[in-house]
Amino acid sequence: MTIQDFDIQVASAQHVDYAVQICDEMAESAKARGTGIAQRSPQYVADKMLEGKAVIALHKNGTWAGFCYIETWSHGDFVANSGLIVNPEFRKVGLAKAIKERVFKLSRQKYPDSKIFGLTTGLAVMKINSDLGYEPVTYSELTQDEAFWQGCKSCVNYDILTSKGRKNCMCTAMLFDPAEKKKESEDKMKKITHKATLLERIENALKRSTKLVLAHNKF
């Protein structure tokens, strides 16, 4: 089995029947890991599909294989790619990475100026996020929208979060800041341009020096 055996697409009305199965697997997965997850109802997941704010993976035989959805916070200033889940039957074939890449692309299309963030305890997800351009940050750099933090109440570590004043917890916070990435890209281009200009000046100086030498040899 390879990643080519799956169709990863933006979810729509035709996928709402998978909502219950997806929610059940989210709950089971959280229980197995001993960590929490913001609990969502099948209706909530279905609504995300109808809004075009979710990505679903299906095996070529039609079996549900994976899912992730988009949430917005602080009036759209922050975006989270939440609820990443892969059907246990199809794990270890690269689906989590492929789904994260697709939902990240969808987030950038829908909210090009928004900061994209996530909280995770999973090393695999941290690696995927890092490859996408996320960087570890403190909790203070995340949305302070109360609705977001209310979602942490279903986590077994919620008491730790509140006891630390929401400054840190068991999860690692990661953030993709489009403005910062744009600045980094511009700075990189400036350095390349500067190097090219410097090289051009050196080449021109060498040419002038060569011409002077040739002119001197004529006499």
Domains of the chain: residue spans and CATH: 3-176 (3.40.630.30)
Query: Quick one: average pLDDT of 50-59?
Result: 97
* Report field, pTM of the whole predicted structure over 0.85: no
* pLDDT confidence tier of residue 36, bands split at 50, 70 and 90: low
Residue whose token pair is 């729509």: 12
Residue 179 CB partners (closer than 8 Å, separation 6+): 113
Rounded Cα distance between 9 and 128, Å, is 19
Query: Quick one: average pLDDT of 165-191?
Result: 87
Q: For the chain, give the mean pLDDT.
A: 88
* pLDDT confidence tier of residue 32, bands split at 50, 70 and 90: confident
* 217 pLDDT more than 80: no
Using CA atoms, how far residue 5 sits from 57, 60, 68, 84, 116, in Å, is 10, 6, 18, 19, 29
Please say whether the beta carbons of 48 and 11 come within 8 A.
Answer: yes
**109-148: per-residue pLDDT in tens?**
999 999 999 998 888 889 999 999 999 999 999 999 998 9
